[in-house]
Amino acid sequence: MSRDVPVLSPYWGQLVDILGRAEVSLVLDIGANVGQYATYLRQSGYGGRIISFEPLADAWAALATAAADDADWQVAPRMAIGEADGTVTVNRSAESDMSSILPLDPAFLVTSPSSAYVGQETVPVRRLDAVFGDHVRADDRVFVKIDTQGYERQVLAGAAGVIDAIAGFQVEMSLVPLYDGEAMFDELLARMRDLGFAPHLLIPGYYSRHLGRMLQVDGVFLRS
């Protein structure tokens, strides 16, 4: 989730520095919502190409508007990214950036009732390795950002065929359960190491004042 990340946070400058050092020329922005992440990248100095992916119709429309005046920021056709091609049902949250394919954890709903689901939307879902070639050029250095509200394990599974073509990842990781069946911080950290990527930056994410603890962080990983 991105609504609690301040635009001027020093972590954005650090992230853009890492992208520069890795000579990243293309960011695949998976789970773009209305374009917050790409906007923050631009404001922090990243000048390369961005391809944003978003499944929900209203968020996708707002995303397309946000990207309209940026020739190097394209919005992919509306789709989710997962482990198998087909269709999938997304649970729509009253908080747009909390919408997820997975059910919300009941305990989390007690502390964040505004995140409750208010409807569903059936959307196309594609594996990343099935659409990778539609957007990536032969000379691109690719960085993949995954912010999919608990569906990160499935996105990584669907990237299996192109892992060797990816220079780095940014993965949202939960420290406490927010969604039923999601991969937690420890599992995702181990998975990234198994895939050959080392952590370079941890970015604080969603802090719960009600609980007095951090609920999520983003891990930035580059190939070891």
Query: For residues 168 and 158, what is the distance between their CA atoms, to the nearest angstrom?
Result: 16
- Cβ atoms of residues 150 and 179 within 8 Å: yes
Query: For residues 197 and 94, what is the distance between their CA atoms, to the nearest angstrom?
Result: 35
The share of the chain scoring above pLDDT 70, in percent, equals 96
pLDDT band at residue 206 under the 50/70/90 scheme: confident
What's the pLDDT tens digit per position in 173-192?
Answer: 999 999 999 999 999 999 99
Residue 19, both tokens: 């992208």
- Cβ atoms of residues 143 and 173 within 8 Å: no
- Cβ atoms of residues 216 and 4 within 8 Å: no
Answer yes or no: pTM beyond 0.85: yes
pLDDT band at residue 7 under the 50/70/90 scheme: very low
Domains of the chain (ranges, CATH numbers): 10-223 (3.40.50.150)
